[in-house]
Amino acid sequence: MNNRIKIVDNVDFKGKKALVRVDFNVPLDEKFNVTDNTRIISAVPTIKKILKDGGAVILMSHLGRPKSGPEDKFSLRHIITELNKELEVSVKFAKDCIGNEASQLATSLNPGDVLLLENLRFYKEEEKGDKDFAGKLAKLGDIYVNDAFGTAHRAHASTSVVAEFFNDKVAGYLMSAELKNAEKVLEAPERPFTAIMGGAKISDKILLIDKLLDKVDNLIIGGGMSYTFAKAQGGNIGDSLLEADKMELALELVEKAKQRNVNIFLPEDSVTSKAFANDAEQGTARKGEIPEGWMGLDIGPESRKKFAEVILSSKTVLWNGPMGVFEMSSFEKGTKAIAEAVVAATEKGAFTLIGGGDSAAAVNKFGFGESVSFVSTGGGALLELMEGKVLPGVKALEP
């Protein structure tokens, strides 16, 4: 982790008001109940440290993608019950993130109090990184804490610009843990180092795959993107997902892996289906032999076995992206098998990092979140960090 950045342990919050950027962009059901509270739980240690010191906390976050101004379905008031439960305090709520009410509530906070501001993205200025808007937020607190790794790759008002207004700016526990764990994989991985790349599109992962070819010993590719590789290598993929304009690139990546002595593993077989539906007619097909009218929606039994062997022989594992359409029970076996292999590798002493987004959702769905080394809360942020990009939200914390 960047040594110039201070973390919350370096600060005594007694008598101070901490303006804390958290990532409470959590999923809600149709009755506005939180269906996955991972991100809320992840922020708790930082908030409790500030309160224990004798400070007060002002929480700011976004939720969803409101189009134009306030929408009730994106109101952060829906998460208060969950927040009260996890923090074991009664959280105050400001119906706006700036303006008189927010200002008065922030001013009247006592040590041990927690105030949650309304959704930052109800203002277009948040995503534009507007300086005046950031200045209004900054007036609410004495110290700035960023614990929102999931949005650290965005140069928004609350993630990077607001920090300019503070002398005291620090990373929360979650932010520092995310950076340390990513560094462990990128800077000094124990070998063999295996990266597992899944998901639908090569285009989302090109930069990362390219970067990883300089670092890994093994690269496993599954998910929808594997069919573009299969087609490029002359196979039949039926109606499977294809990025036709990326076929040449797929072949280049395979060639590059060879040149760098990286073992690249593509699925040898697929679970196929007549339609993109859980109850459609299903079959299995060898690599490059998927008939017309069928589509590959998961890796097959041979691939599961082979991939698991590679993972089990590894000392460092990075996993980003599912092996198939794991949201449907008929096509979850591949992703589940990978999750089980990653857990087994962890038990054998490997360091295993799950790269946010769908991989984190899968690991949590199968109940393995506690059985791997670290589950990242930031899909896009972790990808950009791994690609070697500077994250605006992290850079803003430098003195």
Quick one: residue 99, left, alpha or beta (phi over 0 = left, psi -120 to 50 = alpha)? left
Q: Are domains 8-174 and 181-386 of this chain identical in fold?
A: yes
> What's the CA gap between 232 and 230, in Å, rounded?
5
Sketch the domain layout of the chain as residue ranges: 8-174, 181-386
What does the pLDDT look like over 273-327, one tens digit per residue? 999 999 999 999 999 999 999 999 999 999 999 999 999 999 999 999 999 999 9
Architecture of domain 181-386: 3-Layer(aba) Sandwich (3.40)
SS3 label, residue 374: strand
Phi then psi for residue 92, to 5 deg, are -80, 155
Q: Is the pLDDT of residue 1 over 70?
A: no
Q: Is the pLDDT of residue 181 over 70?
A: yes
What does the pLDDT look like over 80-110, one tens digit per residue? 999 999 999 999 999 999 999 999 999 999 9
Model confidence band, residue 3 (pLDDT cutoffs 50, 70, 90): confident
Q: Which of 63-67, 269-273, 352-356 has the lowest mean pLDDT?
A: 352-356
What does the pLDDT look like over 114-153, one tens digit per residue? 999 999 999 999 999 999 999 999 999 999 999 999 999 9
- Region 189-198: mean pLDDT is 96
Cα dist from 161 to 67, 128, 262, whole Å: 22, 10, 41
Identify the CATH number of the domain defined by range 8-174: 3.40.50.1260
Please tell me which residue, 357 or 268, carries the higher pLDDT value.
268
Residues recognised as catalytic: 39, 201, 357, 380
The pTM of the full predicted model, rounded to 2 decimals, is 0.90
